[in-house]
Chains A and B, each alone.
Chain A
């Protein structure tokens, strides 16, 4: 148990549909990250929250992507008008308050766009 729960674990959707993923970290007082990982690649940074504030977004995060973290607890990542290129594993991670600590990852949500 890494202290991060992601839901759903798998999602198959048709191109053009909207999808939403959820991430529940064990603690509210931490930094929360979203990463995307495609086959044979390492995770790529998407966005970062400190409590409820979204402090950084990658250029990978197109206008079709939006992330929220209401009240600094769980977080959601929504993808609108999905494309086949969005097929990937979406990983959520959290760090304790100290910037030097390691990030702990959830098991991820595997998205397949058909």
Chain B
């Protein structure tokens, strides 16, 4: 069974204080790893897709990286508007049962204090 564990559960940062969020995963074969941002009361907003170990993607203050067992979401010089819950999800390889669904972690709630 695919598993995704995110840490820490919550993170408070001062504005400008860079940090990283962790996503550890167990999957028989990885088709893709996805990062989402979720604001309270809203649906997840897509950020990145990573497909293979060593891959990196950036968007504004966010950078996502992938190894064979985990992914990191690095936040550089965060601003208060970066406050949200960040979700990680994996999709397994294959075409059989379960191969089209995403398995999510519980998320990391990030608070950036001015």
Contacts and interface: CB of A to CB of B under 8 A. Distances in A.
Contact of B46 (A43, A50, A104): A104
B89 to A, nearest CB: 7
Q: How large is the interface on A (under 10, 10 to 19, 20 to 34, 35 or more residues)?
A: 20 to 34
B49 A102 contact: yes
Interface stretch (B11-19, B74-82, B97-105): B97-105
A102 B34 contact: yes
Interface string A100-114: 111111111010000
B32 A100 contact: yes
Contact of A56 (B32, B89, B101, B102): B101
B58 interface: no
B59 interface: no
Contacts of A102: 32, 34, 46, 49
A105 B44 contact: yes
Contacts, number: 68
Q: How large is the interface on B (under 10, 10 to 19, 20 to 34, 35 or more residues)?
A: 20 to 34
Contact of B98 (A56, A106, A110): A56
B63 interface: no
Contacts of B46: 2, 102-105
A108 to B, nearest CB: 5
B43 A42 contact: no
A31 B45 contact: no
A65 interface: no
A85 interface: no
B31 A107 contact: no
Closest 6 A-B residue pairs measured CB to CB?
A42-B104, A105-B43, A45-B101, A108-B43, A107-B43, A105-B44
Interface of B: 4, 31-32, 34, 36, 41-46, 49, 51, 87, 89, 95, 97-107
Interface of A: 2, 4, 6, 31, 33, 40-45, 48, 50, 55-56, 58, 89, 91, 93, 95, 99-108, 110
12 contacts: A4-B43, A42-B4, A43-B102, A45-B101, A45-B102, A48-B101, A50-B100, A56-B98, A100-B32, A100-B51, A102-B46, A110-B41
